Structure 1
Amino acid sequence: MTVRNRIFRTGMALLIGVGVLTACSSGAAAPATASASSKPPQSPASSLAPGIPGSAGVTPGAAPATESNPVGDIPDTQAFVEYTPAQGGYTVKVPEGWARTDTPTQNGGASTLFSDKYNSIRIDTTAAAAAPTVQSGESELTSISSAATGFTPGKVTLEQRKAGPAVLITYQADSAANAVTGKVVAQDIQRYEFFSSGKTVALTLSAPLGSDNVDPWRTVTDSFRFSR
């Protein structure tokens, strides 16, 4: 074998060896790359609890569940109309559409009841020698406690309304039994007592316990005024 042929064969062997090493190197790297790509990166949001905005399974812009109002809430759309009794000497706004019941009282006064389910507004008119006070209201609260069932006392305060000062008596008590179902519910009760020219007019506002009627009751009590 000539020196030239020996050099040629040695060169060819070196080239073949380099090719084999390159192929082996490529084959080892391929499985590693495939293994890494088979596990997609975790999103930080996937670790959040279900139901929290941004969590998996939460639809962006989904409307929240609507909570129904407690029994006794007067709707925001409720209309009010003025009520002026023929001989009552006052005017007050009451919810439109509520049932009305008039009852004469033993002392020559009058009692008018506006009601809807377990909501009610009772208006009592009585002759009085002097304006009610916080002290007289506390005495009334004691009398009420002996007659009411499920009674829980509240407070007696002096409140300012558009018609002037009024004694406010608050307490909780059971309602009268429903004429159809016989059901009785616990009620929040507010009694406002207004006075003018020897006459007291009391507005007693009743609603099921937990009802949110702050605005409607304010509309009623702020609308009250003596007409003569």
Structure 2
Amino acid sequence: MKGQAARIHTRLRSVAGTAAAALMLAMATGFAAEKPVAPEHNPPGDIPDNQVFVTYRSSDGYELKAPEGWARRTTPHQVQFADKYDTIAVNIEDAATAPTLDVVKGQIVPKLQKEGRAVEIKGVSTVSRKSGTVIRILYNSNSEPNSVTSSQRRLENERFFYFHNGKLATLDLSAPLGADNADQWQLISDSFRWK
């Protein structure tokens, strides 16, 4: 009986050690194991083709078109427009130079993957917009958990970088994965211009 108790005790210590090791590994990797949530069939979030857009002018020296009627939240050097599952956000910061493609790929993308929720990069490239050539990141991610239900949605995102006279604007567009917003996102990203 004593031998059996000793074997059970040894086994429990081994299991506890394995659990502790798994916990330490998770802590060391920053709990980066969040898995992508499944995209929805027929997801909500399409911006209607007949959506009216209005010009938003910022005291930070830029303007862009945003959908009329969307909720707007502003803080210093930031603005966000939201409607249900769609968001448009602009963040302004000081920068000595425009980011290069190498800087975006080597520094900004890894930070986005580390700090985001199950981020999956789909592409990083330069694209032409009416204000000039800008860098765009295409990626999918999980949404923040719903404050009531804790449920999440899989999102598709586009991030643009616009630089002018020591200021860098980051424009983020997001919607449920599979929503058809290509034309509207083109309109919004084309409309950004420094004043």
* Fold equivalence (TM over 0.5): yes
The reply on whether 1:74 has 2:47 as its aligned counterpart is yes
Q: How does the TM-score come out when normalised to structure 2?
A: 0.75
**1:17 equivalent in structure 2:** none
**Which protein has greater RCO, CA pairs closer than 8 Å, 6+ apart?**
2
The corresponding residue for 2:97 is 130
Provide the residue aligned with 1:152 in structure 2: 120
Please name the residue that 1:83 is paired with.
56
| Map of 2:172 onto structure 1 | 204
- Secondary structure, counterpart of 2:81 in structure 1: strand
- CA distance 1:207–1:145, change in 2 (3 Å): same
2:16 maps to: none
The amino acid that maps onto 1:194 is Y
The percent identity for this pair of structures is 40
Contact 1:176 1:184 in 2 (8 A): yes
**Bigger Rg over Cα:** 1
Deviations 1:73-100 (A, max 9, x none): 1111111000001x21001000111111
**2:67 corresponds to:** 95
Cα 1:69–1:81 shift into 2, 3 Å: farther
Paired position in structure 2 for 1:120? 87
Aligned residues: 154
Unaligned runs of 5+ in 1: 1-67, 105-109
- Report SS of the residue matched to 1:182: coil
Letter in structure 1 aligned against 2:49: D
Partners of 1:99 and 1:179 in 2: how far apart? 18
- Say whether residues 1:195 and 2:163 are aligned partners: yes
Instruction: Give the alignment's Cα RMSD to 1 decimal.
Output: 1.4
Structure 1, 166-175 or 180-189: larger mean CA deviation: 180-189
Give the superposition deviation at 1:164: 0.7
Alpha-carbon distance in 1 for matches of 2:42, 2:152: 19
Structure 1: which 4+ aligned runs deviate by more than 2 Å? 177-183
Alpha-carbon distance between aligned partners in 2 of 1:147 and 1:97, rounded to the nearest angstrom:
31
TM-score of the pair, normalised by structure 1: 0.65
> Once the 2 structures are TM-superposed, how far is the Cα of residue 180 of structure 1 from its aligned partner?
4.1
Q: Secondary structure at the match of 2:112?
A: helix
For residue 51 of structure 2, what is the amino acid of its counterpart? Q
Displacement after TM superposition at 1:178 (Å):
2.8
Gaps of 5+ in 2: 1-40
- Aligned ranges for residues 19-30 of structure 1 at < 5 Å? none
Instruction: State the alpha-carbon separation in 2 of the partners of residues 73 and 194 from structure 1.
Output: 25
